[in-house]
Chain A
């Protein structure tokens, strides 16, 4: 039985994430925007694998396998972010600018933010980390009502930020 942070606090710890096969290492972030998959439990699910246009995510059989990702083939397009029923994927770009990173996360609350809005970014425990500037809000029809919100934020908080505070 799993007894770590995920099963007691609700959110995975960095240690738990780093043990999972898809979680990026520091050097993977140097490539550009990449998908960060926070899926550490074996649940029967594979839309990340079937949605990826580059075939960079693999699960195989059984479909309870944890996802693996080839960061050299991942372009950070975000299709898997909307496809994941668990809302467990986001895109992070460490190379966005000198001082800022860009995070693109799934968001299913209303009201939706708009480009140009300042929003509060949160960590996995829902704690407020810093402010960010909304760059893009993408509600493409193919995303089936999961909106992708892209927010730039100071690089010093690169690792902690995963989503924004509900408004």
Chain B
């Protein structure tokens, strides 16, 4: 049986920031991640981040990843990669499988779940053909493995993921034939849509993919216009040339471990569905278990990092590394930065949804 005071599950932006804060406070930290490399999705984020200086704005995602890993190394944070967590019991004992073969048990005093999210799939005739993939998968191929998935791409979904990955596919040398959006208005930041529009990419709003054309692989894609109830309109089908279709239809929080750990859930559709209830200290209803990042609701790496810090500070404080006063002060500083990210046209909805969760958390947890 291994022992650690704070075990963090997930070495993405939220998990790494949680680890750094907990270690800075003096806790013995162990980070577990099922992947072969730490950093979560940061290393494929080759674009500059938004926000202000405190949020590392203007820095490219992968450079933030490098900075976080350096900080973790200086703090002697233990990171176990290729380690899949399979179970958490009521005493906070973790059962994990290392390198696909060795079962290990870790006794944790505190656990922070920073497991992230998974891309949503969209089903249409031909969606299982080679060449149809998640936008995040295409982004991993081009920016991590440096493999171009295709030459002509049709993107389904105009949220920030859809438009950012479209831009990066062009940077990698592909052409983007179109970005198809079921809603009548585009989802992503205007600065992102403007960037791909001036590169000549057309947007099809109120459209969806009706089928993929091709026997062995994607050869073309048929799109169709949608009416106000999002039903296909007869006679509006159109064929676009494509060898790759990317799906950017949102993400769902990876909450399995929170269910296993016995956390209570609350349903907030704007944030991605059923989410573990947490308070403003990122504490869940399961004693000693904290959450941070996309598992608490789909947002961005910038907010995930802040939430990670909150969870790290408060997990450490609950072990006695900070006084009540220090914990409140440190948390308030992070909350100011979080509030700054969650305002304006795009942030307000998430802010309101998050406030709902925090008020439920306050009632249930305190």
A interface residues (Cβ-Cβ under 8 A, vs B): 1-3, 6-12, 38-47, 50-51, 61-64, 83-88, 108-110, 122-127, 144-146, 162-163, 165-166
Say which residue of B48, B158, B170 sits within 8 Å of A85 (CB atoms): B48
B333 at the interface (CB under 8 A from A): no
User: Chain A residues near B340 (CB, 8 Å)?
Assistant: 44, 61-63
Q: Determine if B186 and A46 form an interchain contact, defined as CB atoms under 8 angstroms apart.
A: no
Per-residue A-contact encoding for B42-66, CB less than 8 Å = 1, 0 else: 0000011111110101111001000
Q: Determine if A123 and B198 form an interchain contact, defined as CB atoms under 8 angstroms apart.
A: yes
B192 at the interface (CB under 8 A from A): yes
Q: Determine if B345 and A2 form an interchain contact, defined as CB atoms under 8 angstroms apart.
A: yes
Q: Determine if B194 and A43 form an interchain contact, defined as CB atoms under 8 angstroms apart.
A: no
Known: A44-B343, A86-B50. A125 touches B198 (CB 8 A): yes
B266 at the interface (CB under 8 A from A): no
Q: Name the interface residues of B169-192: CB closer than 8 Å to any CB of A.
A: 170-171, 179, 184-186, 189-192
B344 at the interface (CB under 8 A from A): yes
User: Chain A residues near B52 (CB, 8 Å)?
Assistant: 44-47, 50, 63
Selected A-B contacts with CB under 8 Å, 16 pairs: A8-B186, A9-B197, A11-B198, A41-B191, A44-B50, A45-B51, A46-B57, A51-B58, A64-B343, A85-B49, A85-B50, A86-B195, A108-B171, A109-B171, A126-B200, A144-B59
Say which residue of A1, A46, A63, A166 sits within 8 Å of B170 (CB atoms): A166
Range for the number of chain B residues in contact with chain A: 35 or more
A149–chain B nearest beta-carbon distance, Å: 14
Q: Determine if A12 and B200 form an interchain contact, defined as CB atoms under 8 angstroms apart.
A: no
Known: A41-B189, A162-B198. A145 touches B51 (CB 8 A): no
A23–chain B nearest beta-carbon distance, Å: 13
CB nearest to A48 among chain B residues: B58
Q: Determine if A166 and B199 form an interchain contact, defined as CB atoms under 8 angstroms apart.
A: yes
B155–chain A nearest beta-carbon distance, Å: 12
Considering the chains assembled together, what is the distance between the CA atoms of A126 and B123 in angstroms? 31
Considering the chains assembled together, what is the distance between the CA atoms of A122 and B57 in angstroms? 28
Considering the chains assembled together, what is the distance between the CA atoms of A95 and B198 in angstroms? 25
Q: Determine if B57 and A10 form an interchain contact, defined as CB atoms under 8 angstroms apart.
A: no
Say which residue of B158, B189, B197, B346 sits within 8 Å of A11 (CB atoms): B197
B139 at the interface (CB under 8 A from A): no
User: Chain B residues near A163 (CB, 8 Å)?
Assistant: 198-199
A82–chain B nearest beta-carbon distance, Å: 9
Say which residue of B59, B158, B170, B341 sits within 8 Å of A44 (CB atoms): B341
A27–chain B nearest beta-carbon distance, Å: 25
Known: A44-B50, A44-B344, A126-B200. A6 touches B60 (CB 8 A): no
CB nearest to B48 among chain A residues: A85
CB nearest to A16 among chain B residues: B190
Known: A45-B50, A63-B51. A124 touches B198 (CB 8 A): yes
Considering the chains assembled together, what is the distance between the CA atoms of A96 and B225 in angstroms? 46
Q: Determine if A12 and B190 form an interchain contact, defined as CB atoms under 8 angstroms apart.
A: yes
User: Chain B residues near A124 (CB, 8 Å)?
Assistant: 194, 197-198
User: Chain B residues near A108 (CB, 8 Å)?
Assistant: 171
User: Chain B residues near A88 (CB, 8 Å)?
Assistant: 191, 194-195
Q: Determine if A38 and B57 form an interchain contact, defined as CB atoms under 8 angstroms apart.
A: no
Considering the chains assembled together, what is the distance between the CA atoms of A162 and B343 in angstroms? 29
Say which residue of A39, A40, A122 sits within 8 Å of B200 (CB atoms): A122
Considering the chains assembled together, what is the distance between the CA atoms of A123 and B196 in angstroms? 12
Q: Determine if B191 and A165 form an interchain contact, defined as CB atoms under 8 angstroms apart.
A: no
B320 at the interface (CB under 8 A from A): no
Considering the chains assembled together, what is the distance between the CA atoms of A144 and B49 in angstroms? 12
Q: Determine if B51 and A7 form an interchain contact, defined as CB atoms under 8 angstroms apart.
A: no
A45–chain B nearest beta-carbon distance, Å: 4
Say which residue of B50, B63, B196, B344 sits within 8 Å of A10 (CB atoms): B196
Q: Determine if B191 and A144 form an interchain contact, defined as CB atoms under 8 angstroms apart.
A: no
B18–chain A nearest beta-carbon distance, Å: 22
- Which 10 pairs, one residue from A and one from B, show the smallest C-beta to C-beta distance? A86-B191, A64-B344, A126-B200, A10-B197, A42-B344, A85-B48, A10-B193, A45-B50, A11-B197, A47-B58
Q: Determine if A87 and B199 form an interchain contact, defined as CB atoms under 8 angstroms apart.
A: no
User: Chain A residues near B179 (CB, 8 Å)?
Assistant: 10
Q: Supply 5 further A-B pairs (C-beta < 8 A) apart from A44-B342, A45-B51.
A: A8-B186, A43-B344, A64-B347, A126-B197, A126-B198
A109–chain B nearest beta-carbon distance, Å: 6
Say which residue of B60, B185, B195 sits within 8 Å of A8 (CB atoms): B185
Q: Determine if A85 and B344 form an interchain contact, defined as CB atoms under 8 angstroms apart.
A: no
User: Chain A residues near B60 (CB, 8 Å)?
Assistant: 144-145
User: Chain A residues near B190 (CB, 8 Å)?
Assistant: 6-7, 12, 40-41
User: Chain A residues near B197 (CB, 8 Å)?
Assistant: 9-11, 124-126
Q: Determine if A11 and B170 form an interchain contact, defined as CB atoms under 8 angstroms apart.
A: no
User: Chain A residues near B55 (CB, 8 Å)?
Assistant: 44
Q: Determine if B59 and A62 form an interchain contact, defined as CB atoms under 8 angstroms apart.
A: no
